[in-house]
């Protein structure tokens, strides 16, 4: 009887405005209680560049300058805190502000707080929100600004909307698609085109000013990633496969690392996984049964159709890069024709939260799967060189981690990486890092010249614990 009363009370409270604040407070608490032991390679890379004052980045002009400015102000009062916690907290704040703007958009559509709290819970439990709201990546601020643009767009305050949408593009180039998508809607309605031009003017003048300041051609700045070979120009089946998988991953965590976690905690984490999957299946059945009739009666809200389509096309073109899909769950909510769409989804959302907590948040807070600190300490103990080459499949991650921690400790050392052994490997102080499998194939040994490198191997470190194999080998010069 007590369970029934408690459940009824929770359902009643879920309809209250104050419940949204409670959800936010719970989310913030959980993110700090279960801090990840490892951040992404880009998080360490951006953090290191901010500390060094290397603030220019062509595809998100204002991201690092804003973080640098906030960190400088913060450092006046606190000098001992880990910088990466400051940077992640900034992103977390803007992630919460994004939820607040979304709430106001839905209130403007006359959604009930029960429906708003439901989609808020859904976003908080989605994988991309859980992950990128607590990394030092460049996605939360432009999402916040684009949502402000959408809020004023739906209130028909188009000039204000254009300013926010244009500003978002200065924090990440990809948000030009949000602006273009809503611009297409405005053009289709044959309304005043000047606000659209105002929106495009901000990123255009921003990049033009940067081009003049750096004395670099505008084309080279705007298309820096393409010119640097960081973006593929070909198309294959893997673009479709990776895109399909990562669209699913925007909601639920799916990664080979799960196999390692399951090996450690079996049957604890795998048991939670099975239970979560069962809850998701039941929740999907309940939701589809609820929607089988009602969805047919609802018109599609097409204001965001082109925006969603443009983001998906670009993500597919980028080989399904999940980082270009971070905004999709929010855009899908904005594209919902009515709050009726979320009716009956509570069990499904609960299952998704259970899965992502047990398969991502909890294990990431307990285990350093790449053993970054061990790699860093081994390198510090076995190298006095000013330049260090790291070789391995995850070289980007190790290089950025080592660079970041060297910056925080005042160590002046240059790290760079390679995914294979090259003839230059023995010209520097080099370390070969292998994890969980033979990452260096025969083709990586400079056309099979393996003996020349093996004779240069010296000090090594091995770890074959529950997290899998790790071997670090120093290559002498």
Domain ranges of the chain: 2-366, 372-475
pLDDT for 37-68, tens place per residue?
Answer: 999 999 999 999 999 999 988 888 999 999 99
**pLDDT, position 225:** 67
The verdict on whether omega for the bond into residue 121 sits within 30 degrees of 0, i.e. cis, is: no
State the helix-helix crossing angle for 140-154 and 176-188, rounded to 10 degrees: 10
Phi, psi of 414 (to 5 degrees): -100, 125
Q: Write the DSSP assignment of 141-200 as a string of letters.
A: HHHHHHHHHHHHHHTT-HHHHHHHHHHHHHH-GGGHHHHHHHHHHHHHTT--SHHHHHHH
Residues of the chain with pLDDT under 50: 1-9, 12, 293, 299, 438-451, 455
- Whole-prediction pTM: 0.89
Q: How many CA atoms lie within 13 A of 443 on its CB side?
A: 1
Inter-CA distances, 172 with 50, 229, 326, Å: 17, 19, 12
pLDDT for 283-297, tens place per residue?
Answer: 999 888 876 545 555
Which residue in 472, 471, 476 sits closest to 458, CA to CA?
Answer: 476
Report the distance separating Cα 261 and Cα 364, nearest Å.
9
pLDDT for 360-411, tens place per residue?
Answer: 999 999 888 888 998 999 888 888 888 888 888 888 999 999 999 999 988 8
Report the distance separating Cα 419 and Cα 81, nearest Å.
33
Confirm if 28 and 92 have CB atoms less than 8 A apart.
yes
Name every residue whose Cβ is closer than 8 Å to that of residue 70 and which is 6 or more positions away in sequence.
86, 90
Report the distance separating Cα 427 and Cα 477, nearest Å.
5
Confirm if 199 and 178 have CB atoms less than 8 A apart.
no
Q: DSSP code of 217? A: -
Torsion of CA 33, 34, 39, 40, to 10 degrees: -130
pLDDT for 134-174, tens place per residue?
Answer: 999 999 999 999 999 999 999 999 999 999 999 999 999 99
């Amino acid at each position: 009887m007590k369970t029934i009363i408690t459940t009824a009370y929770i359902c009643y409270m879920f309809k209250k405005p104050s419940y949204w604040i409670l959800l936010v407070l719970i989310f913030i608490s959980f993110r700090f209680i279960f801090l990840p032991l490892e951040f992404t390679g880009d998080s360490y890379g951006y953090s290191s560049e901010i500390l060094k004052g290397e603030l220019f980045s062509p595809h998100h002009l204002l991201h690092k300058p804003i973080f640098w400015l906030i960190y400088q102000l913060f450092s006046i009062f606190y000098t001992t805190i880990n910088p990466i916690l400051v940077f992640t907290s900034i992103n977390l704040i803007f992630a919460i502000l994004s939820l607040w703007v979304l709430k106001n958009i839905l209130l403007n559509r006359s959604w009930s707080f029960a429906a708003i709290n439901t989609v808020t819970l859904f976003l908080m439990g989605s994988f991309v929100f859980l992950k990128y709201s607590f990394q030092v990546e460049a996605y939360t601020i432009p999402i916040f600004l684009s949502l402000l643009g959408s809020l004023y767009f739906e209130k028909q305050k188009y000039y204000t909307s254009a300013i926010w949408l244009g500003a978002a593009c200065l924090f990440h180039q990809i948000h030009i698609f949000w602006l273009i998508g809503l611009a297409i809607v405005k053009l289709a309605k044959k309304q005043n085109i000047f606000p659209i031009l105002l929106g495009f003017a901000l990123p255009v003048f921003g990049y033009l000013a940067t081009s003049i300041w750096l004395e670099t051609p505008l084309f080279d700045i705007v298309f820096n990633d393409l010119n640097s070979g960081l973006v593929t120009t070909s198309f294959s089946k893997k673009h479709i496969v990776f895109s399909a998988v990562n669209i699913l991953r925007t909601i639920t965590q799916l990664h080979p690392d799960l196999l390692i976690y399951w090996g450690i905690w079996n049957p604890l984490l795998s048991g939670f996984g099975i239970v979560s999957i069962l809850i998701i299946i039941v929740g999907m059945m309940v939701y589809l049964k609820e929607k089988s009739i009602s969805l047919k009666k609802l018109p599609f809200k097409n204001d965001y159709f082109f925006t969603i389509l443009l983001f998906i096309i670009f993500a597919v073109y980028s080989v399904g890069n999940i980082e270009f899909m971070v905004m999709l769950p929010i855009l899908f909510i904005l594209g919902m024709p009515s709050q009726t769409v979320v009716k009956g989804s509570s069990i499904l959302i609960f299952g998704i939260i259970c899965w992502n907590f047990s398969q991502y948040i909890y294990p990431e807070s307990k285990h350093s799967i790449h053993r970054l600190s061990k790699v860093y300490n081994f390198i510090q103990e076995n190298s006095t060189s000013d330049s260090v080459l790291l070789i391995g499949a995850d070289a980007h991650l190790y290089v950025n981690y080592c660079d970041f921690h060297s910056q925080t400790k005042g160590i002046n050392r240059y790290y760079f990486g390679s995914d294979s052994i090259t003839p230059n490997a023995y010209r520097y102080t080099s370390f070969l890092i292998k994890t969980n499998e033979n990452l260096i194939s025969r083709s990586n040994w400079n056309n099979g010249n393996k003996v020349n490198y093996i004779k240069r191997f010296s000090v090594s470190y091995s770890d074959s614990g529950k997290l899998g194999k790790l071997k670090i080998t120093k290559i002498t010069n």
